[in-house]
Amino acid sequence: MLQTTPRPVVLSIAGFDPSGGAGIIADVTTFASFGCQPTAAVTSLTFQNAEGVFGAIHESAESLRAQILPIVAEFSLAAVKIGMLPTAEIVHEVARLLREFKLPAPVIDPVIESTSGDRLMEENAIGVLLTDLLPLSRVVTPNIPEAERLSGLKIDDEEGMREAAKRIRQLGARAVLVKGGHLREQRAEGRRQKTSSSEVIDVLDDEGVMTVLRAKRIIAAELHGSGCLLSAGIAAGLAKGLTLENSIREAKFFVTDALRVVRKQSPQP
């Protein structure tokens, strides 16, 4: 019998970052901050901090399933957030579990590589992500490099973000949020030039309806795990019954607050 709880229960399926900046620890703290009850299943035990990833031991499909079975037996899940899926075997198993237990359409943060450039997803797993998992998602939240990898397009500006979001949605995703935090360059006269844009734009394609979300860029130290915070916040918003767009807006406010904290704590020039 399923246990009832006054708080919506959200499941994170992601990697474990021992530094706490990203992965499951970041997801759990975000869920709790939004008033949700966190649950989690580990896909990979990583050895990392804000400087980089120094190795990992990946779970098997069997061990991942063994983690999730007791959770779905006890709780009625209100939302699912999916992060690091290192192998094709893990991607297959996650898709299988979503279908088998009719779990909520997940928020998928396609963690292909870390900000420091360390590869976190095997090449053959990306194809399985596109064919098996994207069609089950509520929203996929790639940053610029991830959106380029999934769409096969080069993204230099807002129009490129729109086209990439559309292309990824056409691959099977119900909605795509292309995050523009990495868009700090623009192409001019055939050359790539830096831009000092004070604005960050994110492009949402929700079943063909395009929405551009604009926010002031906060100049701060690098926030390790910002993508995890955003996608976990979106999942928490959905769990509480918000629309996708409002869930994204609330999650963006949450990340912005975290960036402000980082800026205050950073040494001033």
C-beta separation of 236 from 27 below 8 A: no
- Percentage of the chain exceeding pLDDT 70: 85
C-beta separation of 133 from 172 below 8 A: no
What are the φ and ψ backbone dihedral angles of 75, each rounded to 5 degrees? Answer: -120, 150
The residue type found at 236 is A
The reported pLDDT for the residue numbered 190 is 40
The reported pLDDT for the residue numbered 199 is 80
Q: How far apart are CA 183 and CA 162, in angstroms?
A: 13
Q: Give the distance from CA 248 to its chain's centroid.
A: 11
What are the φ and ψ backbone dihedral angles of 182, each rounded to 5 degrees? Answer: -85, -5
In this prediction, the residues of the chain whose per-residue pLDDT falls under 70 are: 1-5, 114-118, 182, 184-197, 218-224, 262-269
The four Cα atoms 70, 57, 231, 253 give a dihedral, to 10 degrees, of 120
Return the HEC string of the chain: CCECCCCCEEEEEEEECCCCCCHHHHHHHHHHHCCCEEEEEEEEEEEEECCEEEEEEECCHHHHHHHHHHHHHHECEEEEEECCCCCHHHHHHHHHHHHHCCCCCCEECCCCECCCCCECCCHHHHHHHHHHHHHHCCEECCEHHHHHHHHCCCCCCHHHHHHHHHHHHHCCCCEEEEECCCCCEEEECCEEEECCCCEEEEEEEECCEEEEEEEECCCCCCCCCHHHHHHHHHHHHHHCCCCHHHHHHHHHHHHHHHHHHHHHHCCCC
Burial letters for 63-90: b for 16+ Cβ neighbours within 10 Å, e otherwise? ebbebbeeebeebebbbbbbbbbbbbbb
The reported pLDDT for the residue numbered 257 is 86
Q: What superfamily would CATH give domain 9-182+194-262?
A: Ribokinase (3.40.1190.20)
* Chain segment 51-103, per-residue pLDDT in tens: 878 888 999 999 999 999 999 999 999 999 999 999 999 999 999 999 999 99
The reported pLDDT for the residue numbered 71 is 98
Structure tokens at 138: 């509520």
